[in-house]
Amino acid sequence: MIKKGFLPLLLLLIAFQGIQAQQDAQYTQYMFNTISVNPAYAGSRGQLSIAGLYRSQWAGLDGAPKTQTLSLNSPIRNSKVGYGVSIVNDNLGDGVVQETYFDAVVSYTIDVSQVGKLSFGLKAGGNLLNLDFTGLQNFDNEIVSGDNIENKFSPNFGVGVYYHTDKFYAGFSAPNLLATSHFDNSKTDANSVSFLSKDRINFYLITGYVFDLNSHVKFKPALLMKAVGGAPLQADVSASFLFNEKFSMGAAYRWDAAVSALAGFQITDQFMLGLAYDKETTELGNTRFNDGSFEVFLRFELVRAYQRLVSPRFF
């Protein structure tokens, strides 16, 4: 049995020593949270859009990651410019590691055809890192020593392009271009943690299409691919059905990592609710401590003239 006190240390080592495999925050409902990976998405829906997402990863594991995001984006009236801001909070080990990201984005859109628009986006921001070594324990239930980190700020910036029509979208982006070293403890004591964590550039490709099966049902496949140096290519494939533009349900597969179930509810013209559940297909998913991962997504849009929305409810 894994000792409860050791789990935060184990998860910390997974997060930092294995950081090549997953560095940016991971979302199952990426098709509704595109601005988190591509700044060119800002303003593409044609209205003020405010979205929040909560993700509980590996529920049941003591100290497992939890992520909260809040974003706002909108076009600037009578211009080709869009803007947005976002806050992402990552918590690991029940407060042992906490990172908060603050980002501001701007986009510029041009018409490339009668139905197609191409947007270019820039992102500027940074993150605050807090690390509390007193929350870590080793196998002998002893405190792992180290110098705590409090509000260490690391700047960053990113770029992206995003093309969309009423039925199709595709984007390519690198949301964080600067390689940041998080911390480096060089202590030699047996109870000390000594390793260096450095972010690598994550490249994202996102695409999807909306098929009209009949007047009441639409089919929405989507794909997100992520590439980062030193790690295998990651691919998320999803497919959902939208009924009467009100209710959607579907499934997703994260290559060699997880299978997912998704559901969405367009409560009103302004409010949308999304739910997702992931089941790990790795060895970690076969443990009795892991109950899977959960996501809740809520979006509000200031819809004054509904017909002006760019592909309302679709992406």
CB 82 within 8 A of CB 35: no
Average pLDDT over residues 26-44: 91
User: Nearest CA to 293 among 252, 248, 233?
Assistant: 252
Mean pLDDT across the stretch 271-290? 81
pLDDT beyond 80 at 230? no
pLDDT at 4 over 50: no
Cβ neighbours for 216, distance < 8 A, ≥ 6 positions apart: 243, 244
pLDDT at 91 > cutoff 70: yes
Across 166-192, average pLDDT: 73
Higher pLDDT, 242 or 190: 242
Distances (CA, A) of 201 to 123, 156, 204: 14, 11, 10
